[in-house]
Amino acid sequence: MANQYIDLSTVRFLLYKVAELETVTKLPHYQDHNKESVEILIESVKDFADKELYPYIREMDEQPAHYKDGKIIVHPQIGTAIKKAGEMGLIVGSFTYEEGGLQMPATVSNTLDMIMEAANNHVIGYWGLTFGAAELLVSFGNEELKETYVPNMMEGKWGGTMCLTEPQAGSSLSDVKTTAYPQEDGSYKIKGQKIFISGGDHEYCENFVHLVLTRIEGAPAGTKGISLMVVPKHRITENGLEFNDVITAGDFQKMGQRGYCTTHLSFGENDDCQGWLVGTANEGLKHMFLMMNGARISVGRGAAAIVSAAYHASLQYAKERPQGRRVSNSGKKNVAEEQTLIINHPDVRRMLLLQKAVAEGSMSLVLEASKAYDLSVAAESQEEREKNHLLLELLTPMVKTYPSEKGITAVSNGLQVLGGYGFCSEFILQQYYRDIRIFSLYEGTTGIQSMDLLGRKMTMKGGKAAFILVEKIMESIQAANTHEDLKPYANTLGEHLQLSQKVAQFLMGFAMKGEYERFLSDATIFMEFFSNLTIAWQWLKIATAAKHGLITGDTTYTEEFYESKIHTMKFFYKYELAKNHSLSKVLMDENVLTIPTEQEVFVG
Amino acid sequence: MANQYIDLSTVRFLLYKVAELETVTKLPHYQDHNKESVEILIESVKDFADKELYPYIREMDEQPAHYKDGKIIVHPQIGTAIKKAGEMGLIVGSFTYEEGGLQMPATVSNTLDMIMEAANNHVIGYWGLTFGAAELLVSFGNEELKETYVPNMMEGKWGGTMCLTEPQAGSSLSDVKTTAYPQEDGSYKIKGQKIFISGGDHEYCENFVHLVLTRIEGAPAGTKGISLMVVPKHRITENGLEFNDVITAGDFQKMGQRGYCTTHLSFGENDDCQGWLVGTANEGLKHMFLMMNGARISVGRGAAAIVSAAYHASLQYAKERPQGRRVSNSGKKNVAEEQTLIINHPDVRRMLLLQKAVAEGSMSLVLEASKAYDLSVAAESQEEREKNHLLLELLTPMVKTYPSEKGITAVSNGLQVLGGYGFCSEFILQQYYRDIRIFSLYEGTTGIQSMDLLGRKMTMKGGKAAFILVEKIMESIQAANTHEDLKPYANTLGEHLQLSQKVAQFLMGFAMKGEYERFLSDATIFMEFFSNLTIAWQWLKIATAAKHGLITGDTTYTEEFYESKIHTMKFFYKYELAKNHSLSKVLMDENVLTIPTEQEVFVG
C-alpha cells in the first residue's frame, strides 16, 4: 500500500488481543466503551490522519514554524487540524463526562494519538499540551479557573502549554526563578523567562493558557518552594480579551520536528502580567508531576509512532527497489539473472525486522502502561488500583525512554535500507531521523529518566513496584509455556528475569552502603538493560496471543499475520534481548570510571 | 580552549608513539620525511584549518550547495580553500617525486586530512576526489592522458570525480549501463547517467575530470565488462577548452554535509561526449578498486574527524554549563549548594568518555591502516610488503565502517550532553549529527563492507590476513603484559581474541558446507563484533604507549595526559568491548531469521 505509516491490523491486535482492552472496558467507569465504539473512533481518526495530517508532514518540515516580528508563524494546516481535532472531541476525549469529556480509557486515547502521530508527529503536541494544561486546571484549579479556561481549551480555540524550563535551570527544576508576587486581589504578578515552550504561540488560537512553575516571593529554595500558576497570554475581562504581558521573545530553530514551534516566553516585562495560583502554594511541582506520567507516556508514544512510520516507508522501498542478486551457495554471482528486490537481502531484512520489533514492541509497551493507568483509576478494588499505579510508575520512565532511544537506531536502520537515497531530502527517512532525535530530550532526558527508574521506581515502597512487574512477567512466561514451541523463549525470558534480579541486587548493595552516586552512576545502562527485558516481555505476550489465534483458528487476522508476530518475537530475542548478557557485565563491573575524582580525565 | 575541534597532542601521540611513524620514515622511500618536517606540516595545516576551514562550517550547512540553471552553486570559501590546498601541495602530497608530489607517507597525509576534516568535513572531499582521480590517471593512464590532465588537477585548477553509481544500480556495479562506443581515433563516445557524484561541478574549477565506469559496446555482462574512462567536462583542443557534453542534470539535496555538492551527471545527451580508456579494457573495476582502500580509509577518517569535533564541542559545553548538583551519599539534594558543572555528573562523563574512546580509537585505527599502506608500498622485503598489504585489505572495511557507524552513536551522545540545546540549530552538535550520517553510505554501505570483511577478507589466501592481524594483536598483548596494571586488560583482550576465533570458525563452517547465504547473513553483526576487538587492540596499544611514557618519565606529554589515555582504555573495555559477549551469542545463535523463505515475514 502506498504511503502507509501504521498498520491498523497490528494496532488492533495489540489493543484487543495483547493489551486486552476488554479488561478495561468491562469496568463500570468505562462501561460505555466497547470494541464497536472503539472501532468507530479508530476508523474516523485514521481517516482524519490520512486526509489532514499525513499529506502535510513534508511541508511542515520544509516550511518550519518560526518567529517573526514578535509572532510565531506556523503552517496553516496546523490551524485546520487543531480545529477539527476539537470538533471531533479528540483534545479532551479522556476527560470524564462531568469534566465534559468522553471518559475514554487512556488505552484508547493513546491508540488514537499513536495513529495520528505516525501520520504526522509535528501536530499532535499542539493539542496534547492543551489537554495537559486543561487537565491540571481540572484537577487542581478552583471552579472559577476551570470555568474561565477549560471550555475554550477543549474546543481547541485556546491553546495550552506547560512552562517548566528556564535558561539557567534546564533539567534542574530546583533552580526555577520565575517569581510570583502576591497581589491584594488574591492574584499574582508574574516575572520571569521560560524557554523550550512547545506550542507556546501561533495565530490559530486566540489565546494561550500557560501553566507556569513559579516561586512565590519569599518561598523556600528548591522544589519545595515551587507553585503552579495559570498565566494566560490574554486575560479575560468584561470587555473581552486583554493582553497580559506575556511576550513571545523568540523561538528555537530545531533540527527536526520543525512544524512544532518551540518558543521563548517572557512574563511581565512591563510589570503587567497576572497569574492565578492553581492548587496549593509550594506544591506546584507535585501537581505538575501528577500529570507527568501521562506526558512521558505521550513522548514514548510519539517516538514509537515515528518508528512505525519509518518502518513502513523503508519496507515499501525495499519491496519496490531491485538491486543486486541473492548470494548463491557457490558464492558466485550470476549476472545474467535479473536483479532481485532488496527485501531479499538478509541484511536488509535484518534492518526491517529490527524496526518492526522496536515499533511494535514499543507500541505494545505504550498500551501496557496506558492500561495500568486506566486500572489505577478505575479498577474495582483499592488494592488493584494501587498495584496498577505502582506498575505505571515503574513502567513510565521506560515507556518514555525505550522508543526514544532505540527508535533512533531503528529509524537509522530505515534510512540505511534506502542506501544513498535515505540521506537525500527527497525521501522522508532523513526527516524521521531528524524528528525522532528530540524524544530522548523531551520531558526529562534519558539520564533523568534512568535515575528515576533505578533511584526511585525500583526501590519505591520497598521494591513493591518491581515485584509487581516480576509477577506479571512470570504470568506471561507461564502462559507462553503452555505452547511447546514458545517454551524456549519463555525459558529465555525467565533466565533474563533472574539475571536482572541479580543485577538489581548488586546495584542496590551500593545504595544500602550509602554509596548513592555509585548506585546511580550507570543508571542509563540499567535503563537499557531493564527496558530490553520489558520489551522482551511484551514480545512474549504478543507471540502468545498470536499462537492462541493460530491454535483457535481465529480468522480475525491471517495465519501469516500471526506467524509474522512470532517470527518478530524470535528476532527480538536473538538480536536484542541477547544484549543483556553484555549489559549485565557492564553493570556488575567493579571498575568505577565515571565518578569525578581528583584525576583529570578529559585531557587531550 | 574555545572552539577546539581536535587535540593536536593526541594526534601527535597517536602518530609518533602509537603508530610509530618512525618505522615508516626510516624506510628509504620516505627518507626525506622525519618528525621535524612532519611537525612543520602539522602546524601549517592546523593554521590553514583554523583560518580557512573551521570558521565556515556553519555557513556551509546553512547555505548549502545547490543546483541552479544547469550549474552547481557552492559556498565561495570552497574556491578559496581548494586554491590554497593546491598551493600548499596538499592535494597530491602523497604522489611520488616523479609524479610531482612530496612522496608523503599515507600515515602523514591522513593525519593532515584528519585535522582539516575535523575543522570542516564539507570541504576536503573536493580535493580528496581530485587526488583519487589523478591517482587513477597516474597509475593506469598513458603518458598523454597524464600530461593532459594531472598537472592542473594537482594545483586544484581542475577538479576530479569518481563516477560509479547509476540510478538503476546503486551498490550493484555489475549492473552499470553507461556505454562507451569505440571511435576511429581510438577514443570513445560516452552515453549514460551517473548519480551521487560528489564534487561533480561548481564554478571554482575551470574543468572537471571524471573517471567513469562504463561498458564498452558489446562487452560482457557483469563486472567483467566494465572499463574505466576519463571523461572531462571540457575537452582540451588547440583552441583551449571545449564543452564535452557532460551536463549537470541536477543535484541531491541532503540532510547533512550540505556544503559538499552531490550531483547528477548526464554524459552524451547530444552525442558529443568523448572519453578515453584508462588502463585495460574490461578491467575498469579492478583499476578502480586499486584506489578503493584509500578511498575507504578516507571515509573512516572523515567520520573519526567529525567524532573528534563533536567530542570537543560537547566537552567545552560540559565544562561551562552549570546545572543540578552531584548526587550526595544521603541521596538528598542540598539546594543551598551552588549548581555544579554538568561535567561532574557521571552520566555526562560517560557520554564524553564514549566519544573520546570512539574518536581516538578510530583515529588510531586510521593511522594503523595508513601505516600498513605505507609498508605495503615501501617496506624493504617483499614479504613485509605483502604482509602489510594483506593487513591493509583486512583492516580497510573496518576502518571505513567503525567510525561511521559507532560515530553516529558517539555524536548522538555529544548532542545529548547539551540537553535540549543539542537539538537546536544554534549549536553545532545537531549539524555534526546530520553530517556524520552519510559516512556509513559512502563508498559501499555498511552491509557491503561487512560482506567484504567476512566473505572476502577473513578468508583471503586461506585466512592469512586474519592470521597476520592475530599475530599483531598477540604482540600488543605481550607488550602490555610487561606492565602489571595493564595485565588484566591484556588478558581480557586475549580472551576476546579467542572468542573471535571461535566465532569465525563457527561461521566458516557454513561457508565450507556451501551455505554461503547463511555464512554472510549476519555479516554486519560480525563487522561490529570484529571492529570492537580491533579498536580494543588499538586502545591497548595506546595505553601501553602511555604507560611507557609514564615509566620513562617522558615529559613530551603530561602525566595527566598519559593517565587520561589509560583511563579511556579502561572505559572502552568496560563499556564497549564487553558488548562482544552478546554479539558472539547472536553470531552463534542457530536461529536463522533473515534469509527469505516461503513464509511471508513482513505482514502488518
**Count of C-beta atoms within a 10 Å radius of residue B233:** 24
**B446 and A416: CB-CB below 8 Å?**
yes
Per the structure block, which three cell numbers stand in for B90? Answer: 596538499
Residue A596 distance to chain B (closest CA, Å): 6
pLDDT at B336: 80
Mean pLDDT, range B440-451, rounded to an integer: 96
Taking a C-beta distance cutoff of 8 angstroms, is the pair B121, B302 a contact?
yes
Q: What is the CATH number of the domain that holds B268?
A: 2.40.110.20
ipTM more than 0.85?
A: yes
**H helical segments located in B380-483:** 382-417, 429-436, 446-451, 460-481
Write down the residue that cell numbers 469496568 correspond to: A27
Q: Does residue A213 lie within any of the structural domains?
A: yes
Please name which of A427, A60, A424 lies closest in space to residue A257, comparing C-alpha atoms. A60
Q: Does residue A9 lie within any of the structural domains?
A: no
The verdict on B315 and B453 lying in the same domain is yes
Instruction: Give B-chain residues touching A344 at CB under 8 angstroms.
Output: 596
Cα gap B549→B542, rounded to integer Å: 11
The verdict on B266 and B320 lying in the same domain is no
Mean pLDDT, range A62-85, rounded to an integer: 97
- A280 three-state secondary structure: coil
The verdict on A272 and A393 lying in the same domain is no
Minimal Cβ distance to B323: which of A171, A345, A580: A171
**B596 and A349: CB-CB below 8 Å?**
yes
pLDDT at B473 over 50: yes
**B523 and A422: CB-CB below 8 Å?**
no
Instruction: Give B-chain residues touching A571 at CB under 8 angstroms.
Output: 593-594
pLDDT at B1: 40
**Continuous segment of H or E residues that includes residue A496:** helix A487-512
**Structural domain range at position A114:** 32-290
When the pLDDT of each residue in chain A is averaged and rounded to a whole number, the result is 96
Residue A251 distance to chain B (closest CA, Å): 10
The verdict on B297 and B258 lying in the same domain is no
The verdict on A312 and A240 lying in the same domain is no
Q: Does residue A526 lie within any of the structural domains?
A: yes
pLDDT at A1 over 50: no
Please name which of A573, A576, A547, A572 lies closest in space to residue A562, comparing C-alpha atoms. A547
The verdict on A419 and A455 lying in the same domain is yes
Mean pLDDT, range B3-28, rounded to an integer: 97
**B586 and A575: CB-CB below 8 Å?**
yes
Residue B18 distance to chain A (closest CA, Å): 15
**Count of C-beta atoms within a 10 Å radius of residue A70:** 10
Taking a C-beta distance cutoff of 8 angstroms, is the pair A178, A215 a contact?
yes
pLDDT at B220: 94
- Rounded alpha-carbon distances, angstroms, from residue A491 to A477, A540, B140: 8, 11, 61
Amino acid at residue number B413: N
Instruction: Give B-chain residues touching A353 at CB under 8 angstroms.
Output: 593-594, 601
Is residue B187 classed exposed, middle or buried when 0-12, 13-18 and 19+ CB atoms within 10 A define those classes?
middle
Domain count, chain B: 3
Minimal Cβ distance to A347: which of B447, B557, B565: B447
Q: Does residue B155 lie within any of the structural domains?
A: no
The verdict on B96 and B206 lying in the same domain is no
Please name which of B133, B128, B164 lies closest in space to residue B230, comparing C-alpha atoms. B133
Minimal Cβ distance to A252: which of B353, B424, B560: B424
Name residues whose C-beta falls within 8 Å of residue B218's C-beta, 6 or more positions apart in sequence.
none
Taking a C-beta distance cutoff of 8 angstroms, is the pair A547, A562 a contact?
yes
Q: Does residue B147 lie within any of the structural domains?
A: no
Question: Model confidence over B490-518: pLDDT tens digits?
Answer: 999 999 999 999 999 999 999 999 999 99
pLDDT at B440: 98
**B350 and A561: CB-CB below 8 Å?**
no
pLDDT at A298: 97
pLDDT at A333: 75
**B516 and A446: CB-CB below 8 Å?**
no
The verdict on A82 and A154 lying in the same domain is yes
Minimal Cβ distance to A589: which of B430, B451, B574: B574
**% of chain B surpassing 90 pLDDT:** 93
Name residues whose C-beta falls within 8 Å of residue B132's C-beta, 6 or more positions apart in sequence.
B160, B162, B211, B291, B294, B295
pLDDT at B2 over 80: no
Q: Hey, which residues of B are catalytic here? A: 443
Instruction: Give A-chain residues touching B221 at CB under 8 angstroms.
Output: 335-336
Q: Does residue A592 lie within any of the structural domains?
A: no
Last residue of a domain, one of B214, B249, B284: B284
Cα gap A543→A565, rounded to integer Å: 6
Mean pLDDT, range A51-58, rounded to an integer: 98
**Higher pLDDT, residue A453 or B292:** A453
Mean pLDDT, range B553-561, rounded to an integer: 97
pLDDT at B328: 83
Name residues whose C-beta falls within 8 Å of residue A297's C-beta, 6 or more positions apart in sequence.
A106, A110, A366, A369, A370, A373, A396, A399, A400
**A346 and B9: CB-CB below 8 Å?**
no
**B433 and A438: CB-CB below 8 Å?**
no
Which of the residues A443, A484, A576, A598 is marked catalytic? A443
Cα gap A282→A276, rounded to integer Å: 13
DSSP state letters, A305-332: HHHHHHHHHHHHHHHH-B-S-PPPTTS-
**% of chain A surpassing 70 pLDDT:** 99
Q: Does residue B595 lie within any of the structural domains?
A: no
Mean pLDDT, range B236-240, rounded to an integer: 94
Question: Model confidence over A136-185: pLDDT tens digits?
Answer: 999 999 999 999 999 999 999 999 999 999 988 767 788 899 999 999 99
The verdict on A272 and A256 lying in the same domain is yes
Closest residue in B to A448 (Cα–Cα): B347
Question: Model confidence over A209-264: pLDDT tens digits?
Answer: 999 999 999 999 999 999 999 999 999 999 999 999 999 999 999 999 999 999 99
pLDDT at A436: 98
Mean pLDDT, range A68-94, rounded to an integer: 95
SS3 annotation, B272-331: CCEEEECCCCCEHHHHHHHCHHHHHHHHHHHHHHHHHHHHHHHHHHHHHCECCCCCCCCC
The verdict on B404 and B491 lying in the same domain is yes
The verdict on A400 and A343 lying in the same domain is yes
Write down the residue that cell numbers 475514554 correspond to: A104
The verdict on B562 and B432 lying in the same domain is yes
Closest residue in B to A443 (Cα–Cα): B420
pLDDT at A482: 97
Taking a C-beta distance cutoff of 8 angstroms, is the pair A371, A24 a contact?
yes
pLDDT at B215 over 70: yes
Concerning whether A380 is annotated as a catalytic residue, the answer is no
Q: Does residue A18 lie within any of the structural domains?
A: no
**B604 and A10: CB-CB below 8 Å?**
yes
Q: What is the CATH number of the domain that holds B89?
A: 1.10.540.10
Mean pLDDT, range B100-120, rounded to an integer: 97
Name residues whose C-beta falls within 8 Å of residue B597's C-beta, 6 or more positions apart in sequence.
none
pTM exceeding 0.95 = yes
Minimal Cβ distance to A170: which of B165, B323, B522: B323
Is residue B40 classed exposed, middle or buried when 0-12, 13-18 and 19+ CB atoms within 10 A define those classes?
exposed
Closest residue in B to A600 (Cα–Cα): B560
Q: What is the CATH number of the domain that holds A515?
A: 1.20.140.10
When the pLDDT of each residue in chain B is averaged and rounded to a whole number, the result is 96
CA angle B212, B214, B218 (to 5 degrees): 165
